[in-house]
Amino acid sequence: MGYNTWNSFGCDINEKVILDTTRLMKTHGLLDAGYDHINLDDCYSEKQRNPSGDIIANEERFPSGMNWLTDQIHGLGFKAGIYSDSGWFTCQLYPGSYMNEDRDVKLFQNWGFDLLKYDNCAVPFDEVIKEGMIGKYTRIANAISKLSKSSGKPPILLSLCQWGRVQPWLWARKLGQSWRTTNDIYPAWDSLTNIMNRNSFIASATDFYGHNDLDILEVGNGDLTYDESKAHFTVWALMKSPLLIGTDLSKVTEQTLSILKNNEIIAINQDPVIGTSITPFRWGVNPDWTYNRTHPAQYWSGESQNGTVFMLLNTLDHPADMFFRLTESPWIRAGRQYSVRDLWTHTDNGTAVRNFTASAVPAHGVVALLLKDAGDEPAGTMPPCSSLEWCMAENGTRIDNIGFNP
């Protein structure tokens, strides 16, 4: 959790922008909410390395130097992140780290950085690199591991920005702590649904040892409505994506802050007991397992240390009632009733038996619920099974074959 400079500032970063943002993170209570990283993205350096071969911080925009900057960030209670690339250059054509991995990792550690975002531009020709994507990223992972062993310091966290072209969710956990799964986000509903859709099929790749990275949060940016921003934040948090704010905090509204600081949603993202993501149990608008970038899966559930999490996502352009049977989620026990906690209204909403309906979910809106076991369902609840398919009495009678009518 933290802040990344790219979405709001692009290349227009300097030490004042970084420190002003860091102070605003603290003033707005975002550090207390868990956002504890301040990550510089591209464009912080000079265009050329120095004669010794080292990357140099841009002297005009970072006149005090990177050690001073990270000291300031750490002094305010945050960790600091830096950016580089696995190719010859970064995406904005600043020096990349290919063939300089050991040198650059040592420099980043000496500068005082705790995390490295590692991008995928300026890929060397095949006759030069002579290895695939895994090998290219293994170079930096090995450099980080080697430096940690020789220095006795904790390894820099590695966030791979690989865009999902060769399925990083299958291999990147061996190398880093998170991996990008799609192209860059932008603040519009169609970008969000595209990312939601793509990640619905790989949600099970996330656990404590690595995370699908859905990209930087655009909450409150662009033309996103309040309900779209809530849905955006909920999906990212409950799918256990890294939560990196991309909003210009000098212009942030209280409404946006209320989304970013939803402590009940953040608690699911940061659950110290359960590391896995929520996953779809029903697609809703489409048949299950349908790939549709405008209408991703609508019904999701997952475990948490305090109960079963449900997320209902209305991908329609109008309000809709959303109904599900509790046992459609694999984490719900049959024959039990469940107390219902709404994670956005922060209210306890009675007890659910067998079914639940969320009424008038706003267009592009979301409902997030935490259900806790509240004991046996009421005696005599009918029909005898919440799902009648192959429901059988002890004497062998199949209930679904006798036309049972509740």
Residues forming the active site:
119, 184
Residue 379 corresponds to which tokens in the numbers above? 């005696």
378 CA to centre of own chain: 39
8 Å CB contact between 258 and 164: no
If we measure between CA atoms, which residue out of 243, 231, 249 comes closest to residue 344? 231
Measured CA distances, 130 to 84, 90, 120 (Å): 21, 20, 16
Any bridge partners for residue 358, and if so which?
322
8 Å CB contact between 246 and 215: no
DSSP for 168-188, written as a single string: GGGTGGGT-SEEE-SS---SS
CA angle 301, 216, 121 (to 5 degrees): 120
Residue 307 corresponds to which tokens in the numbers above? 């109960």
